[in-house]
Amino acid sequence: MKKIRWIPLFLGAFLVVFIAGNLAAEDQEGNVGLEIGNVAPDFEVETMDGEKMKLSDLQGKPVMLNFWATWCPPCRVEMPDMQRFHENHEVVVLAVNLTDTEINKNDVKKFVNQFGLTFPIGLDQDGSISTAYRINPIPTTFMIDSEGKIRHKAFGAMEYDTMVEELQKMK
Q: Is 56 helix (H, G, I), strand (E, B) or coil?
A: helix
Q: CA 60, 54, 65, 133 torsion: positive or negative?
A: negative
CB 71, CB 103: distance < 8 Å: yes
Question: Which residue(s) pair with 70 in the sheet?
Answer: none
The C-alpha atoms of residue 161 and residue 167 are separated, in whole angstroms, by 10
DSSP string of 89-158, one letter each residue: SS-EEEEEE-GGG-S-THHHHHHHHHHT--S-EEE-SSSHHHHHTT--SSSEEEEE-TTSBEEEEEESPP
Best CA proximity match to 125, nearest among 9, 55, 27, 43? 43
Q: Is 52 left (phi over 0), alpha (psi -120 to 50) or beta?
A: beta
- Please state the pTM of the whole predicted model: 0.83
Q: What is the pLDDT along the chain (171 residues), one digit of tens a residue?
A: 555 554 444 434 333 333 334 334 444 557 999 999 999 999 999 999 999 999 999 999 999 999 999 999 999 999 999 999 999 999 999 999 999 999 999 999 999 999 999 999 999 999 999 999 999 999 999 999 999 999 999 999 999 999 999 999 998
